[in-house]
Amino acid sequence: MRAEGCSENSEISLLLCGDKRIRALNRIWRRKDVVTDVLSFPQTEEKGEIAAPRRASEVPVILGDIVISVQTAAKQAKAAGILLQKELNFLLIHGILHLLGWDDASPTQRRRMLARQEEILEGK
């Protein structure tokens, strides 16, 4: 999260689950009755509302919640010929970027976001 300028006091919650659970959450919150790999639920609705604490001793900034289907991640990792851990890292970064205001609704936004995910995975 530091790569995106987040305070060290920033926090997220992470739920690793199966396809059944993520499908139910997707149906409830996005009205899409399909399995997905990752869901993000920002703490704030407006982009740019995330405020960093002024001092390290202040209460952490909660960015939001991320849900990842380990079942879907495993299928995607196998199809891509990569380790499950790499796919999970990729999905976690994807979720964090969404919490920070990144969007992938258009093809251009998606390309930019995927490129940024790869940069972060490579430590850039």
What mean pLDDT is predicted for residues 17-30? 97
Q: Which residue has the higher pLDDT, 60 or 39?
A: 39
Q: What is the mean pLDDT of the chain?
A: 87
The residue assigned the tokens 């992470």 is 14
Domain residue limits, the chain = 2-121
Given pLDDT bands bounded at 50, 70 and 90, which one contains residue 113? very high
CATH architecture, domain 2-121: 3-Layer(aba) Sandwich (3.40)
Instruction: Concatenate the DSSP letters of all residues of 16-80 into one string.
Output: EE-HHHHHHHHHHHH---S--SEEEEES-SSTT-----SSTTSPPEEEEEEEEEHHHHHHHHHHH
The predicted-structure confidence for 52-97, as pLDDT tens digits, reads as follows: 445 555 677 889 999 999 999 999 999 999 999 999 999 999 999 9
Strand (E) or helix (H) holding 40 = strand 38-42
Q: Which pTM value belongs to this model?
A: 0.83
